[in-house]
Structure 1
Amino acid sequence: VSFQSEAGEPVFVAKIGAMTAAAFLVGGLTSILSGYIGMMVAVFSNARTTISAQKDNEDGWTAAFNTAFRAGGVMGYSLVSISMMVLFVLIIIFRALFSESDGEDGNRVDYKLLFECLAGYGLGGSTIALFGRVGGGIFTKAADVGADLSGKVIGVGDGKKLDEDSPYNPGVIADNVGDNVGDVAGMGSDLFGSFGEAACAAMLIGSACLAIQQAGWSALVFPLYISAVGIVVCLLCSFIATHLHPVRKEEDIETALKVQLLSTSIGLTAVLYPVCEFALPDSMVIAGARAAVTPLVCYCCIVAGLWGGCIIGFITEYYTSHTYQPVRDVARSTETGAATNIIYGLALGYQSTIIPVVILSAVIFLALTFAGMYGVALAALGMLSTLCTCLAIDVYGPISDNAGGIAEMC
């Protein structure tokens, strides 16, 4: 069984299916590896963060924050680097398998067919993320609530209750392990799947453009350039939260993390335009775009996704941080009972999604209007360009939480 490729030559479906399945398998294994690395880093850093917090005065805050944040950085840089490296190796292997001699210009490669096979890479990562994120999340919440109930409900009447962080409470260990499974491994696999899908989609759509094919290798793998530049910028900005803006007290933590994310976004905004001019052709005809797409248009799509994701992060923090009014209002609603607390919290959750949905819709509309589906894929990669820093901040949370639990148990 075969079908016609773009060059008009028959391509065997068995070969296409086998290569797509191989990409799917590699994506799944890479996702598992990413989650495993994240869990090992978290387990290794929990106790170290607890020990660092024992220092006196400001040194304890600084040392504990730096330990947890750097551990999160290890997770972020390793996940993005490994996923990019494996994806690039797959492209090189598939390129060799799809290479055919045309007798005139040397070897010819059907890149559109190549990147169609490569799409299985992102799907494999997302499939594993489904089990890690959903299964790990259910385990995390079950263990957390179980450990909490033993100190609040079970055994209250007969004096046998155990505190949530008591070393005699078996649920404490399950709770701490659940944080690592759901909030570290599951989240890492989830974001790996998002990155793999966005990168594969952008390269697949770009390979259908004649101008990108004629521009050569750099234009075809331009989506990987975005993530590569993101790794470098995140690495150069990583010392801001630990050295230029060190944490001296509890109130400094939130500010330090905000400054870290904001500085990374500003740095990426400054350096992405030269990369677009270097890698992309001067003019491209993309299906769905209103006019010819230029490197400046692609840059605007990436930056729109970058800052859209950044703003969504700040809005989410506003609705979930105890520093701001929404969370305090939820806490105040408990004065009249559990019913009002549940109703108010659910209503606040609905309200918190309005602005992010509007921002996401605006980014998609602008990208789709000016660069078609290629612009939407670039906007998604723009949101994920600060993935190293975002993962460092995300993993910092469960590491610090487990460190606090270890301190209370000891």
Structure 2
Amino acid sequence: MLTEKTIEALEKVILVGCQLPTDDDRQLEYSLDELASLTKTANGRVLTSVIQKRNSIHSATYIGKGKVEEILALEQELEPDVIIFNDELSPSQLRNLSNTFEARVIDRTQLILDIFASRARSREGKLQVELAQLQYLLPRLVGKGVSLSRLGGGIGTRGPGETKLETDRRHIHRRIDEIKAQLTSIVQHRERYRERRKHNQTYQIALVGYTNAGKSTLFNRLTEADSFEENQLFATLDPMTRKCILPSGFTALLTDTVGFIQDLPTSLIAAFRSTLEEAKEADLILHVVDSSNPDYFNHEQTVYKLLEELKADQIPVLTVYNKRDELHHEFVPSSKSASLLISAFNSKDQETLKQKIQLMMKESMEEYSVCLPNSEGKLLALLKSTSVLTELTYQEDKDCYKCTGYIQPSLSLTQQLKNYMQ
């Protein structure tokens, strides 16, 4: 519950959007609602929203001169701390608007980067966010003329007459190179880890979806993990992989990934590519969709588009429509792939989902039927965890266990079973 003191501590924000002929009213409304949610996640309090309909974005100030004056009047009246624009501003737009308003001016990209910076926990996550922030900042460094010119003379510092701005640029370039070098070694480690999992032929499932669709909640229920879950955008930033035991006893690996969002900054897609590679390496993708969100269809399309960019669109997908207890009144399942409507908190739904996953896994596996002697206890235990066992009965007359099920053709265990095939 927010107290008056907490509300006072939140930064006051004015949102600004521009509606082009290609955007319908509903689309703009959803986009600004999302911007308001992002602002709330970043500990901001939205005072008001300003919208202008234009044929094209103003090259110098994003919005027209009249609307700039209107926001100036609002600024005098409401005294906001920040003015947030709903699109990515060009360096010149940002400079012109910052010179016009007293409040700090940022854009949608900078807001998302700010949230990512506060949410990153792992070393890789922090480095990726810092890299994206520096790449965003570099073309937007603005000098204030003579006041920033500092004559230098120290060894290895600024040269004679070099401005503070040029020093900053040089420092950022150097830091970007350092981060890229560190990330390369982390990415190589992650790739080795993935190769080891592939070598062990573990079945891998990746959870993907729009931010705040309920991926972490579902992840925690399916794996009994403790991934951070919150009704906020980008609650999860660092990927987490845990074992998921299916009804037959089969053990798969489930990975929770960072949430997708419309207009995700290009620098962030690039920065988090190694993290999102988890989806590309999966045997099955669980695409989680928030069925309570009125804009769920566009959320789905955003995820499909990003999966295509990652070249992960050929992997089997199970669309999981989450939050059925809060279903939006206009919701209609629109997935072309197999789908399921569930609530992540409902234990029966969790079981139904596991059964569905198992069913889809079987489609890419080979059926087997063997009789294992009583002495092959180790092989039997392996079958339980690495194959989908559909029947296990002890046959007294033959003193063996009859096992029927499905197994990955590439497993070395498949070859062993051939000795006992019926």
- The structure with the largest helix share of the pair is 1
Q: Give the structure, 1 or 2, with the largest relative contact order (CA under 8 Å, sep 6 or more).
A: 1
Please tell me the TM-score bracket, short chain as reference: under 0.3
Normalised by the length of structure 2, the TM-score is 0.21
Normalised by the length of structure 1, the TM-score is 0.22
- The structure with the largest strand share of the pair is 2
Instruction: Pick the structure with greater CA Rg.
Output: 2
